[in-house]
Structure 1
Amino acid sequence: MALAQCPSCRKRVSSKATECPHCQFVFAGHSEQDLEREFIRIQQEKRDKLVSRSMLALLIAIAGFVYLFLQQPMPETWQYNVAVGVLVAGLLWFVVNRVQLLFVKRKRK
């Protein structure tokens, strides 16, 4: 019994298994092109999720900046600290998502 890689989730499964125990992908009856299409579909879903999350993070950062710009709270108040925290957290989240997106795009079969 050898271990193989699931084309859907990329986890190791038995070569004698009829379906993946992790993602329930059925191995029987699929050609090489079907497996390649499944891999491409999964990669595209990951990219789409990361792009959506990065846009949400950017919107959060913009909201913090707009609040700072329009309201101009006094430094050392809780409103100022929350706005700066939201701005920094949104920017960090955006950068992390973009780096993850780079790694997903570079990942090949």
Structure 2
Amino acid sequence: MAIVSCPSCNESISSKNKVCPHCDLQLGEVSEEQLARIAARKRVKKQQMFMNHSFLALILFLGGFLYLYSRQPTPDSIEMWLTRGAIAVGCLWYLINRIILVYLKKKK
């Protein structure tokens, strides 16, 4: 008896289990086609998650610029530091997510 991961939910289960106790996948009846479909569904779900993160990062980045140019906070004030921080964090978060998305698309 070995500990393996479920092909659907990636939870640790016993190799003797016929059904995954976490997601109720019938392990004995899984074909190669079903495994490929499950893997494709996981990949699409992961890509969608990073795409959503990219949109949130872009909103943070653009919100920082909008606040900076509409409110024009005084230099060296808390508002200015927060605005610059939002712009920097949003920019870095967006770039990192886009790099991850390119990597996931090339991984196909």
SS of the equivalent of 1:74 reads coil
Partner SS state of residue 8, structure 2 = coil
Tell me the number of residue pairs that the alignment of Structure 1 and Structure 2 aligns: 108
**Counterpart position of 1:61:** 61
Q: Secondary structure at the match of 1:28?
A: helix
The answer to whether the 8 Å contact 1:7/1:36 transfers is no
Quote how far apart the aligned CAs of 1:13 are.
Answer: 6.2
Match of 1:31 in 2: 31
Aligned identity (percent) is 36
2:39 alignment partner AA: F
Aligned mates of 2:99, 2:22 — CA distance in 1? 26
The structure-2 alpha-carbon separation of the partners of 1:6 and 1:52, relative to structure 1 and needing over 3 Å to count, comes to same
**Which runs of structure 2 are paired with 1:21-100 in the superposition (5 Å)?**
25-100=25-100
Report SS of the residue matched to 2:28.
Answer: coil
Q: Runs of 5+ in structure 1 lacking a partner?
A: none
Q: Which amino acid aligns with 2:59?
A: L
Between the aligned partners of 1:104 and 1:15, the Cα distance in structure 2 is 29
TM-score normalised to structure 2 length: 0.79
What amino acid is the match of 1:82?
A: L
